[in-house]
């Protein structure tokens, strides 16, 4: 992948936020859950060889070690690979607690820094997610993370963070055409927070067999997954598809040489049930779920 050129390279976006200074992030990343051990290492290694430069891991995935080994063994300069990780609820709170989580994650990964570090779930029952964001913003200055953000934050959770004078660079949420989480996306955009989509092509939902998706794919000579991933990045979202298959990895990365028409985009948008209050069975409620 070429060197980032601000304003000209559609494969990257810029992360901004409190104590974050224009950090480039690749628009397509490799999701690694639920892979662990050798399977995860080999998947990351093949993805890096295919041109991926964005990897998504987490404490709760139990694979930071495998991701780190693949990065360090790839021969690719560390500064060219963007690594995201996330921390669990027991570390929510002040700077020392969050730093403990961060240093433990870096030790597991064998890395000197994470490019992006996220609060994995808000866990509102603890009511420490705003304090955790304050801690993350302070930790950027240590050099142990380049940017910080949140994951699975509803508009209300995000607003509480904004009310504290903080702007996360990213809110990583469940997002795919049949459940695009429009309210969350709109709140993110209004706040200047980038939306990153996990499960971007659905998970066992039959999305990739939907006639709308397959029809666009057939007409463009693309796979259904490529069409959906292009739908994400063309609307400015980071997309983090998981695949251990080298062929699918290459296909998932190859979404920058074509565009969807306005009509195609509108047809895919119309599959969404979230604007009317619906949700995918696979999307957990951050008011009651978290780790």
Q: Which residues contact 155 (CB under 8 A, 6 or more apart)?
A: 183, 184, 186, 187
pLDDT in tens, 87-132: 999 999 999 999 999 999 999 999 999 999 999 999 999 999 999 9
Which token pair is 53?
């430069």
Domains within the chain, CATH numbers bracketed: 12-276 (3.20.20.100)
* pLDDT on residue 9: 66
pLDDT in tens, 5-57: 444 567 999 999 999 999 999 999 999 999 999 999 999 999 999 999 999 99
What is the spatial order of strands in the sheet that 170-174 belongs to? Answer: 30-31, 54-56, 82-87, 116-119, 148-151, 170-174, 194-198, 238-240
* pLDDT on residue 275: 73
pLDDT (mean) for 174-193: 96
Q: Please, are residues 275 and 247 in contact by the beta-carbon 8 Å criterion?
A: no
Enzyme catalytic residues? 61
pLDDT in tens, 225-234: 999 999 999 9
pTM for this structure? 0.96
pLDDT at 265 over 60: yes
């Amino acid at each position: 992948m070429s060197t980032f050129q601000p304003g000209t390279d559609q494969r990257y976006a810029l992360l901004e936020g409190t104590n974050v200074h224009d950090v480039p992030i690749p628009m397509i990343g490799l999701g690694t859950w639920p892979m662990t051990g050798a399977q995860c290492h080999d998947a990351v290694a093949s993805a890096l060889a295919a041109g991926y430069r964005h990897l998504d891991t987490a404490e709760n995935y139990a694979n930071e070690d495998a991701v780190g080994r693949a990065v360090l063994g790839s021969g690719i300069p560390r500064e060219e690979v963007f690594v995201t990780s996330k921390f669990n609820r027991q570390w929510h709170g002040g700077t020392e607690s969050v730093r403990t989580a961060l240093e433990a994650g870096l030790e597991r990964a064998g890395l000197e820094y994470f490019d992006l570090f996220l609060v994995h779930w808000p866990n509102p029952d603890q009511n420490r997610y705003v304090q955790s964001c304050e801690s993350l913003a302070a930790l950027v200055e240590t050099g142990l993370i380049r940017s910080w953000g949140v994951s699975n934050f509803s508009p209300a959770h995000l607003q509480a963070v904004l009310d504290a004078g903080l702007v996360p660079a990213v809110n990583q949420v469940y997002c795919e055409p049949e459940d695009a989480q429009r309210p969350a996306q709109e709140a993110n955009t209004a706040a200047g927070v980038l939306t990153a989509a996990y499960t971007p092509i659905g998970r066992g939902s039959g999305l990739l067999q939907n006639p709308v998706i397959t029809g666009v794919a057939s007409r463009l000579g693309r796979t259904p997954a490529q069409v959906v991933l292009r739908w994400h990045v063309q609307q400015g979202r980071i997309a983090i598809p998981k695949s251990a298959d080298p062929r699918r990895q290459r296909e998932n990365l190859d979404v920058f040489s074509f565009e969807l028409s306005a009509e195609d985009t509108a047809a895919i948008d119309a599959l969404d049930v979230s604007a009317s209050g619906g949700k995918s069975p696979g999307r957990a409620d951050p008011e009651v779920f978290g780790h």
